[in-house]
Amino acid sequence: MSAAPLIDRAFLEKLERLTLRWRKSFPGLVGGHNTSRFPGPGQEFFDHRHFHYGDDLRAVNWRAYLRLEKLFLKMFQVEPRVPVRVLLDTSGSMGTGEPSKFVYARRLAAALTYVGLVRLDTICIHPFSSTLGEGMVCSGGRHRFAPVVDFLTGLEARDASHYAPVARQFASTYVQRGLLVILSDFLDDAGCEKPLQSLADCGHELLLIHLWADEDREPPWVGELDLTDVETGEKLEISFDEAARREYTASFDSYARTLQELAVRTGGRYIGLSTAVPFEEAIFGPLIHAGGVV
Amino acid sequence: MSLLNLSLGEFFALFGALSGIVLTLYLLDRSRRRQVVATLRFWNPAEHPPEARNRRRIQQPWSLLLQLLSICLLLLAIAQLQFGSRERSARDHIVILDTSAWMSARTGQITLAGQAKALARAYVRSLPAEDRVMIIRADALPTPATPFESDRARIEQAILDTTPGSAALDLNEALEFTSKVMRTRATRPGEVVFAGAGRIARHDADAGAGMPHIDNLRVLPVTLVAENCGIRKIGLRRSMTADGVWQVFVAVRNYGRAPRQVSLGLRFGGAPAGSRTLALQPDSEQNITFEYKTRAAGWLEARLLDRDDFAADNRAVLELPAMPLLKVAVFSDEPGLLRPVLASNPGVEARFLKTSQYDPGIDAQVVVLDRFRPARMPAAAGTLWIEPPSAGSPVPVRTVVQNAPVISWNSDHQLGAGLHTKDLRLGSAQVFAVSGTDVPIASVEAGPVIVARPGTPKLLVAGFHPMRSGMRYELATPLLFANMLHWMAPEVFRRTEIMAGSVGSVAHEFSADVAASDVTLTGEGQEAIPFTIQGRQLRFFTLTPGIVRLKSPEGEAVYSLTLPEVGETRWEPPKTALHGIPRHFAGLARATDIWPWLAVLGGIGLLAEWLLFGRARRSNFFRRAPARITSLAARLPWITRTRGRPVRKAS
């Protein structure tokens, strides 16, 4: 299957200039592109420390030993490879809105994956709703992008979203810390703050990309409404007017701020995107501005 | 209070239908909208606890009431609601403008038509603005100039565009037409107004009792104490006795109330041709005959030399046709034989030549060959052979008889018409063998002795010499020659009768029964004019002054219809008729039109509903100026009482 339905080739060429960016320092092998505060087998001198038993004798600063008769070990700066995981919300709520949040999220996931592939990062894409779905690991360059597109195209938006079991599954599956990109509308009736907090506590750097349709933030309808929750089927009758709309929007914005504060507090980043924003503009605008990619 | 455009039933039916539609749309618009959303968490804020309430059937009753009220106002505007009595509403009037020829008579500096137009305009201006007026121009025929019209500018323009015609007023026809229009076209009949002099024909005045009765008749008379003498008729015909003489008949009438002495002058081609002084008694007519000799064509003008109030009938013009001569060439060695019979006809110019002087191209319409056969046939239109040589006769000679009595003349043919002989014996006569289209004209026992051969050229062969036989002393002989010449050159002898008269209905009397297929009636532009024939009388009608030519087997008659047709007497309106410009119309309490205000109010109502309850408010269309509308809405407790209260439905 070609990549045309999600992202066209011209746009992919533009994406090749970008690089996935993370702020935290993660240990890892050489080969990454973000400097870590952890020393490792690098080329550039970083610091000295006392020699301990079991350290590599090749890293001992023998000149300092001859002068001071103490063993000091040279430490080097490293740019480690960091695993990048993308959690894509495939719950039923993602299928609402015009254009659909799910389509928008799939395109974003594809774009971020392509950026990582170009920089030889290892990307793991996991769909999730009430549970963590089967993921797809891709690495090895841009020519591995086509299977990603096929994988994303085959996904569907259904079921209800439950962040708590998903977070537990993820934490138990991936012990190694890394960048965790979550593409979701973060609409879980049970709340998603605690699961996200637990993921951050596990050492993952969170990049929360909050997607919403305009009708999610500012419903255009007025009058007597008979509302149905797309995920739970729960109904609500409401008399909706301008004041109620303002109240609704304020509540939505408050929730978005909560997510943002959580991300910032845990050292991560938060990007709120309306699906009304053109896709290209979203990549080269808010995503770069927030440091998600550089 | 009344509705102009709709009846009460129609109004309620329309209002009911529109109200039903509006109510249906309203209920549909205000009904609950089903919507699938991503989550319900933001729709149920914690600070507003769920509150159950009964669902109202009509959520915003004032919006509905405002809509219905606005629609009612707009419907009333469309129906043209009027305050005031319907009895005093608009009426339809008809103004008959007299456009007869007499209306061009002058009184001082203004014509009668000018007076009538001024009166008609004054009448129209005196009418209420709602009243409609129809203008009818009446002369011999009534012609509507406008339909029932309330636009005063158009009505006055139609009055100003009216000009007098050339025909007399047929008031009977005009009143009948008006009565019919008022019955069938008028919504609410008003007055029938006659503006004019009312000069009608005497027979119309005599039949005045038979005129249709008009209830609301008003007369706007124009006054002219006219002293007028005019040419009523002028006629022209060839003199039957004198060669090249025209007889001119002129009829002059005194329409005034005093005896008058007038001079009548006759001019031909601008040169005086005669004059006469006439003493005319009041309301009398006198016929005068002039004789004028000319063979040339030209214009003959008869003119009354004295001025009077009506100048249009003081002059009549006739077109005189040329009076041509028939050129006859006689080739005979004994010209003395034929000279008397040809010289007796004033329309014939005969030349007598020797047979040795024969020229086939001689300038003549008829060639007579007396006992002579030329080598080449003549080029003339007709040839008369008298006793041709047996060897060269154009019609084969069967035999020659001696002392044979003439037993028959073909009286059915034009050549034999009117010929009778008794005990006429021909000393020697050739008997011809006829064939084909040959027509025997005279016959003896052995066969035809005079044969005609139609065609081009025409040929006539006589087997005996009329002036050498016993026929020389018969009365039929000159008639026979006349018939021969007339048959061979009919256009020269065609009887032309020229008459001048007035436009309108014209009657022509034939001397015998004539089939309509043999008659052609054409105008100046050679256009056919319709006519009817009853017995021996032909009738046609024209309103356009000009020359009409009537061609029939009896000849050609030219009608120079240049004289205006003038009515002899003045119409006396019925005693119930009103006179003059009305004054009471201005004092009538007129119905007040309020439909513009109703339309404006309806529009304002719909706009207010749209601003207060409509999409503009719901979609916050006026984002820059919502505060005023919101504050206004906030003052209405029934609007804000239950808004923004979410209700959790028990599931």
What pLDDT score was predicted for residue B622?
46
pLDDT for A288:
87
CATH code of the domain containing B109 = 3.40.50.410
For chain B, helix, strand, coil in percent to 5 are 25, 35, 40
Bond into B573 cis (ω within 30): no
- Can you give the pLDDT at residue B638? 45
Q: Is the pLDDT of residue B546 over 70?
A: yes
Residue A223: CB atoms within 10 A of its CB come to 17
Q: Give residue-wise pLDDT tens across range B154-181.
A: 999 999 999 888 888 888 888 889 988 8
How far from B587 is each of B72, B94, B123, CA to CA, in Å? 33, 21, 15
Alpha carbons A138 and B395: distance in angstroms, whole number: 130
Mutate to test the interface with A, among B26, B37, B63 (most CBs of A within 10 A): B37
pLDDT-derived band of residue B117, with 50, 70 and 90 as boundaries? very high
Claim to verify: residue B349 and residue B484 sit in the same structural domain: yes
The pLDDT of residue B196 is above 60: yes
Same domain, residue pair B334 and B429: yes
Q: Can you tell me the mean pLDDT for B212-231?
A: 82
Distance from CA of A22 to the nearest CA of B (A): 31
Give me the residue from A96, A222, A239 closest to B647, CB to CB: A239
Residue B333 makes CB contacts below 8 A (sequence gap 6+) with: B354, B355, B370, B371, B372
Given B519, B545, B563, which residue is the final one in a domain?
B563
Predicted confidence (pLDDT) at residue B252 exceeds the cutoff of 70: yes
| CATH number assigned to the domain comprising residue B505 | 2.60.40.10
Q: Distance (Å, rounded) from C-alpha A61 to C-alpha A49?
A: 10
**Does B650 map to a domain?**
no
A9-25+81-289: CATH, from 3.30.390.50, 3.40.50.410, 3.30.379.10, 3.40.1190.20: 3.40.50.410
CATH of the domain at B372: 3.40.50.880
CA distances from A276 to A257, B161, B474, B485 (A): 20, 71, 128, 112
Does the pLDDT of residue B244 top 60, yes or no?
Answer: yes
SS3 B622: coil
Contact A226 B35 (CB under 8 A): yes
In a domain, B433, yes or no: yes
**Same domain? B558 vs B576:** no
Chain A residues inside the 8 Å CB shell of B636? none
User: Which of B37, B41, B643 lies nearest to residue A189, judging by beta carbons?
Assistant: B41
**What are the extents of the domains in chain A?**
9-25+81-289, 36-78
- Closest residue in A to B640 (Cα) is A241
Q: pLDDT grade, residue B590 (50/70/90)?
A: low
pLDDT at B207: 60
Which residues does chain B have within 8 Å of residue A252's beta carbon, measured at their own beta carbons?
42
**Residue B273 counted as domain residue:** yes
Give the ipTM of the model, two decimals please: 0.81
Token pair listed for A187 = 């609409």
Instruction: Calculate the average pLDDT of chain B.
Output: 81
Q: In this complex, do B648 and A239 lie within 8 Å of one another by their Cβ atoms?
A: no
Model pLDDT, residue A21 = 81
CB-CB under 8 Å, B44 with A239: no
Q: Is the pTM above the cut of 0.95?
A: no
Q: Does the pLDDT of residue B88 top 60, yes or no?
A: no
Inform me whether the pLDDT recorded for B625 exceeds 60. no
Residues B164 and B263 in one domain: no
Burial class (CB in 10 A: 0-12, 13-18, 19+), B576: exposed
Question: In angstroms, what separates the C-alpha of A186 from chain B's closest C-alpha?
Answer: 10
Report the gap between the CA of B69 and the closest CA in chain A (Å). 23
Looking at the structure, do residues B109 and B76 belong to the same domain, yes or no? no
Which of B262, B286, B320 lies at the terminal end of a domain, its last residue?
Answer: B320
Q: How far is CA A294 from CA A144, A269, A286, B190, in A?
A: 22, 14, 11, 93
Of B33, B38, B44, the CB nearest to A236: B44
Per-residue CA distances from A18 to A118, A142, B182, B487, B580 (Å): 9, 13, 93, 121, 102
Task: Find which of A224, A231, A254 to mutate to test the B interface (most B CBs within 10 Å of its CB).
Answer: A224
Whether omega before A99 lies within 30 degrees of 0, making that bond cis, reads yes
Verify that B311 and B250 share a domain, yes or no: yes
Which is nearest to B562 in space by CA: B528, B524, B514?
B524
CB contacts of A185 in chain B (<8 Å) are 38
B620 part of contact set with chain A, CB < 8 Å: yes
Query: Does B646 reside within a domain?
Result: no
Q: Is residue B648 part of a domain?
A: no
Maximum CA pair distance of chain B?
153
pLDDT over 80 (residue B205): no
Q: Which of A6-20, A208-222, B602-616 comes out lowest in average pLDDT?
A: B602-616
* B181 and B71 part of one domain: no
Q: Examine the domain organization and report whether B104 and B216 are in the same domain.
A: yes
What is the extent of the structural domain holding B575?
90-226+569-590
The verdict on a CB contact (< 8 Å) between A239 and B39 is: no
Chain B stretch 3-62, residues whose beta carbon is closer than 8 A to a beta carbon of chain A: 29-45, 48, 55, 59
Q: Assess whether pLDDT exceeds 60 at residue B95.
A: yes
Q: Which residue of B has its CA nearest to A228?
A: B36
Q: pLDDT tens digit string along A79-107?
A: 777 889 999 999 999 998 888 899 999 99
Number of domains in chain B: 5
Residue A263 pLDDT grade (very low, low, confident, very high; cuts 50, 70, 90): very high
φ, ψ of residue B238 in degrees (nearest 5)? -70, 145
Question: Does residue B316 lie within any of the structural domains?
Answer: yes
The residue written with tokens 């061979």 in the block is B488
Q: How confident is the model at residue B494 (pLDDT cuts 50, 70, 90)?
A: low
Confidence (pLDDT) at B105: 85
Q: Indicate if B71 and B191 belong to the same structural domain.
A: no
Contact B598, B81 (CB under 8 A): yes
Asked whether the predicted pLDDT for residue A217 surpasses 60, the reply is yes
Q: Which two tokens stand for residue A242?
A: 């301008």
The pLDDT of residue B58: 58
Contact: B644, A219; criterion CB under 8 Å: no
Residue A249 pLDDT > 50: yes
- Assess if residue B352 is contained within a domain: yes
- The predicted pLDDT at position A83 comes to 85
The neighbour count for residue B328, using CB atoms within 10 Å, is 25
Summarize pLDDT for A133-152 with one digit per residue, the tens: 998 999 888 888 999 999 99
Same domain, B337 and B481: yes
Number of Cβ within 10 Å of residue B56's Cβ equals: 12
Q: Which residue of A94, A224, A235 is in closest CB contact with B651?
A: A235
The Cα–Cα gap between B135 and B157 comes to 10
CA gap B342, B327 in Å, rounded: 11
User: Closest partner residue to A230 among B29, B36, B44, by Cβ?
Assistant: B36
- The confidence score (pLDDT) of residue B551 equals 86
* Choice among A35-39, B102-106, B146-150, B372-376 with the minimum mean pLDDT: A35-39
What is the number of residues in chain A? 294
Query: Contact B36/A96, CB-based, under 8 Å?
Result: yes
> What is the mean predicted confidence (pLDDT) over B466-488?
85
- Domain co-membership, B284 together with B157: no
Residues of B in contact with A228 (CB under 8 A): 34-37
**Of the candidates B285, B303, B320, which is a domain's last residue?**
B320
**For the segment B416-454, what is each residue's pLDDT rounded down to a tens digit?**
888 888 888 888 889 999 888 899 999 988 899 999 998
Helix (H) or strand (E) holding B125: helix B112-126
| pLDDT band, very low/low/confident/very high, at B54 (cuts 50, 70, 90) | very low
Residue B512 lies in a domain: yes
Higher pLDDT, B547 or A15: A15
* A246–chain B nearest CA distance, Å: 10
Residues B337 and B485 in one domain: yes
